[in-house]
Chain A
Amino acid sequence: QQQVKQSPQSLIVQKGGISIINCAYENTAFDYFPWYQQFPGKGPALLIAIRPDVSEKKEGRFTISFNKSAKQFSLHIMDSQPGDSATYFCAASMRNFGNEKLTFGTGTRLTIIP
């Protein structure tokens, strides 16, 4: 059972453009929604995260939009740069006596072309 669905699987965006990656979740008990960036041969690195009490969070060029009623959230990368080329994973978790194990989406391979 895939609890977090991510799309698209791959994405090509022109330099300076906006990259948009979408995720949908099923478990309404999730209360923490991070996005991770992963470069080849490296572990995932936390990019930005949101909790369901807000509908949007912005950090620099990265914005998360969150729609609680639709159980969807998305990552927007403004002014996309070649250095943003990586695989992006959405994830979700709920706190259970300190346990915040993450459920990940299947990933989006983003390529920024000049």
Chain B
Amino acid sequence: GAGVSQTPSNKVTEKGKYVELRCDPISGHTALYWYRQSLGQGPEFLIYFQGTGAADDSGLPNDRFFAVRPEGSVSTLKIQRTERGDSAVYLCASGSADARGTQYFGPGTRLTVL
């Protein structure tokens, strides 16, 4: 079956621009997580969705970052007024309530802010 997919795979933007990153989780997975991975580092948690609601957004670095999951499936991470420090790989993971703890990661979107 299909795994987690993310689009685009690469995004280059200019400082100050707005970007949207999309995540298609595994069908039926109710839990969805966004992480950010900087070069040479482990992924860092950004936000967690259970169904349609953002149950934990404690990892979002500031109010320029926002994420939605309106129908409980696809999620979009939105970054306003991008800064060069936002450059990283943004990873999405999904999980099933039946398989406690197991998260399946997508390939990520590499964001470069010039």
Contacts and interface: CB of A to CB of B under 8 A. Distances in A.
Given A32-B100, A34-B101, A95-B100, A89 B42 contact: yes
Contact of B42 (A49, A95, A101, A107): A107
Interface residues of A, number: 28
A42 B9 CA distance: 10
A33 B68 CA distance: 28
A97 B55 contact: yes
A104 B43 CA distance: 6
A14 B108 CA distance: 31
Interface stretch (B44-52, B70-78, B79-87): B44-52
Interface size class on chain B is: 20 to 34
A106 B41 contact: yes
B107 A44 contact: no
B26 interface: no
A29 to B, nearest CB: 14
15 contacts: A32-B101, A34-B102, A36-B105, A43-B4, A43-B105, A44-B91, A46-B104, A49-B102, A95-B101, A99-B55, A100-B31, A101-B59, A102-B33, A102-B35, A104-B42
Interface of B: 4, 31, 33, 35, 40-45, 48, 50, 55-56, 59, 91, 93, 95, 97, 100-108
Given A98-B55, A101-B45, A106-B42, 13 more contacts: A43-B4, A44-B105, A45-B105, A93-B101, A95-B101, A98-B31, A99-B55, A100-B31, A104-B43, A104-B44, A105-B42, A106-B40, A107-B41
